[in-house]
């Protein structure tokens, strides 16, 4: 299964176009390898915001040949090839994550449960799509799962090596993706639960919790500083020049600590400042915004909070069979709760999901698709392994096999219909895929990665005109980016003003109209 999964991913990475985001991540990875981790501004706008040092791994495919040939120079086309090859490390990370899913689920629910969880992981179209790109997403999937796994192991064994692994994973998370900062309160919650369960005096519990937290803090600081190459570590708060309103306000509120050196590298701190600036800036302003003004449920993004955004993403972007399996797993677990050890096992899977999902739903205002919360899915796949033992407690094996095989075959066929291009996947709740744009006009289904495939389609259909900027008659293909005018350039306004319904589509990303 792992070999098949690897083969699928390695083939797909050669069929996808390099996106603008991938180029930026790759360039930042190269900067890290060149000892240049700084987060820069160009005309007052962040050049790098959410890019993190972990992407230096993807740039190794360029760095290693350069090591043996320092004079090596690549033109833009060769650099795009470098990015494509660099995707290999993302795929390797996805394969390593598959091992974590299999091992943890097997330890919890037996070999059948482990196999079931692994199958769900491998059939997830969203994990497939984002593990085929250069970026921080796939690393966040891996690090989040590893952190929770080692926290579970530490709770079970109380061995110091697992606390050190938790600390190391948390630190790596901070050089992988900024949203993994949310894992700290989750892990502290796990530690508090552990000392609460111990039969000790209160002062002993407090001392143990303090000692464990101190170890996590020290190791995290060491990993973060190492990742950012100790760049300007020790800079005082008053020496920072923040650009976001949030961080300027924080700087004023903590002015009493202005002279205190900060134990964090400057680019790590500025990364949060720049992301806050991007969140405060309305989308779609060319040269200022970090993302275009897509639409959601037919309404344009305006920077407002949409608390149900990620719930709708899960509803349409996750395969229906998985949704059935997940809710069945919850119901079966609840029915069998007297036989379970929730506070020792499943809390390490479900608490992170609940806390982080609610945090994103209530406080995030940058809507970049389901990818923002994908790092929670492996934990859900592992939890679904509990369905095997819980259902086998009530159902005959043959009936159970019939039901699960039917659901998995349904999911497999649904996902395979998108091969080799999984990012625009939507489930059968959107029956006609040319209508997917009415739900998602954003990075949920369009990320510029499908251009190679779209170009091949256009070559086979020479009668279709691609994004003509003047009014024409006949068939016209337009990307969602131009149809929704992400950057307000108005180049396809003549078409959108006609208010035509698309007659067809290509991978939901490119709409085809018949202009009378």
Residue 373's pLDDT is what?
96
Residues in contact with 129: Cβ distance below 8 Å, sequence separation at least 6, in sequence order: 422, 423, 425
How many Å apart are CA 210 and CA 203, to the nearest integer? 10
Assigned domain for 22 exists:
yes
CB atoms near residue 325 (< 10 Å): 22
Assigned domain for 430 exists:
no
Are 327 and 454 a contacting pair, CB within 8 Å? no
Residue 175: give the domain boundaries: 2-416
Residue 197's pLDDT is what?
82
How many Å apart are CA 50 and CA 39, to the nearest integer? 10
How many Å apart are CA 251 and CA 503, to the nearest integer? 54
Are 273 and 29 a contacting pair, CB within 8 Å? no
Residue 199's pLDDT is what?
83
Question: Do 359 and 463 lie in a common domain?
Answer: no
Question: Do 467 and 387 lie in a common domain?
Answer: no
pLDDT along the chain (516 residues), means of 10: 96 95 94 94 88 96 86 82 95 98 97 97 98 96 98 95 98 97 97 88 92 97 98 94 94 90 96 93 83 89 87 98 97 87 94 97 91 97 94 82 94 97 97 96 95 97 96 96 93 95 97 96
Question: Do 255 and 370 lie in a common domain?
Answer: yes
Chain CA centroid to CA 320, Å: 20
Residue 132's pLDDT is what?
96
How many Å apart are CA 132 and CA 125, to the nearest integer? 11
How many Å apart are CA 102 and CA 116, to the nearest integer? 9
Residue 318's pLDDT is what?
98
Question: Do 372 and 475 lie in a common domain?
Answer: no
Question: Do 35 and 115 lie in a common domain?
Answer: yes
Question: Do 316 and 405 lie in a common domain?
Answer: yes
Assigned domain for 427 exists:
no
497 φ, ψ (degrees, to nearest 5): -70, -15
90 φ, ψ (degrees, to nearest 5): -65, -40
Question: Do 324 and 473 lie in a common domain?
Answer: no
Assigned domain for 27 exists:
yes
Assigned domain for 74 exists:
yes
Question: Do 373 and 451 lie in a common domain?
Answer: no
Question: Do 283 and 367 lie in a common domain?
Answer: yes
Residue 348's pLDDT is what?
97
Query: DSSP letter string over 168-181?
Result: HHHHHHHTT-GGGG
How many Å apart are CA 447 and CA 123, to the nearest integer? 21
Please, which residues bridge with residue 300 across strands? 295
Question: Do 242 and 285 lie in a common domain?
Answer: yes
Are 492 and 502 a contacting pair, CB within 8 Å? no
Residue 291's pLDDT is what?
83
Are 83 and 18 a contacting pair, CB within 8 Å? yes
Domain boundary among 383, 416, 449: 416
Residue 305's pLDDT is what?
87
Tokens, residue 332? 């079966």
Please state the domain count of the chain. Answer: 2
Tokens, residue 500? 């035509």
Assigned domain for 426 exists:
no
Q: For 19-45, give one letter per residue: b (16+ CB within 10 A) or e.
A: bebbebbbbbbbbbbeeebbbeeeeeb
The pTM (predicted TM-score) of the whole model is 0.95
Question: Do 224 and 185 lie in a common domain?
Answer: yes
């Amino acid at each position: 299964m792992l070999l098949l999964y690897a083969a699928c991913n390695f083939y797909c990475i050669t069929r996808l176009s390099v996106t603008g985001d991938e180029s930026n991540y790759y360039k930042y990875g190269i900067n890290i390898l060149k000892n240049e981790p700084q987060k820069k501004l160009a005309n007052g706008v962040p050049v790098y915001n959410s890019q993190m040092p972990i992407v230096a791994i993807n740039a190794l495919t360029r760095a290693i040949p350069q090591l043996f040939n320092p004079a090596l120079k690549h033109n833009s086309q060769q650099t795009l090839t470098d990015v494509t090859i660099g995707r290999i490390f993302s795929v390797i990370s996805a394969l390593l994550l598959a091992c974590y899913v299999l091992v943890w689920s097997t330890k919890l629910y037996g070999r059948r449960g482990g196999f079931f969880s692994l199958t769900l992981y491998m059939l997830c179209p969203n994990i497939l799509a984002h593990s085929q790109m250069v970026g921080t997403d796939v690393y966040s999937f891996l690090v989040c799962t590893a952190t929770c796994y080692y926290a579970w192991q530490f709770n079970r064994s109380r061995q110091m090596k697992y606390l050190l692994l938790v600390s190391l994973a948390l630190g790596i998370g901070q050089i992988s993706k900024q949203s993994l900062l949310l894992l700290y309160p989750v892990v502290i919650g796990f530690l508090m639960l552990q000392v609460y369960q111990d039969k000790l005096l209160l002062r002993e519990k407090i001392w143990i919790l303090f000692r464990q937290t101190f170890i996590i803090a020290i190791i995290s600081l060491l990993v973060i500083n190492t990742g950012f190459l100790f760049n300007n570590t020790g800079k005082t708060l008053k020496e920072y020049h923040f650009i976001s309103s949030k961080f300027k306000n924080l700087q004023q509120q903590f002015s009493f600590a202005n002279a205190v050196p900060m134990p964090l590298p400057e680019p790590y701190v500025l990364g949060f400042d720049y992301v806050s600036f991007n969140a405060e800036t309305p989308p779609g302003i060319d040269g200022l915004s970090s993302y275009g003004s897509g639409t959601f449920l037919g309404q344009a993004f305006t920077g407002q909070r949409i608390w149900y955004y990620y719930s709708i993403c899960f509803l349409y972007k996750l395969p229906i069979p998985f949704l059935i399996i997940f809710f069945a797993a919850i119901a079966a677990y609840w029915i069998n709760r007297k036989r379970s050890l929730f506070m020792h096992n499943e809390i390490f899977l479900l608490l992170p999901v609940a806390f982080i999902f609610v945090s994103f739903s209530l406080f995030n205002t940058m809507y970049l698709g389901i990818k923002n919360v994908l790092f929670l899915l492996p934990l859900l796949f592992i939890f679904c392994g509990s369905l095997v033992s819980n259902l086998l407690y009530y159902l005959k094996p043959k009936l159970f096999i019939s039901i699960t095989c039917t659901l998995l075959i349904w999911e497999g066929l649904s996902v395979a219909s998108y091969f080799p291009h999984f990012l625009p996947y939507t489930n059968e709740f959107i029956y006609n895929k040319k209508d997917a744009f009415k739900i998602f006009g954003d990075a949920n289904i369009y990320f510029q990665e499908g251009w190679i495939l779209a170009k091949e389609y256009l070559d086979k259909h020479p009668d279709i005109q691609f994004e003509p900027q003047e009014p024409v008659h006949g068939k016209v293909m337009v990307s969602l980016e131009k149809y929704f005018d992400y950057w307000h350039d108005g180049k396809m306004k003549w078409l959108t003003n006609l208010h035509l319904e698309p007659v067809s589509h290509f991978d939901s990303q490119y709409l085809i109209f018949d202009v009378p």
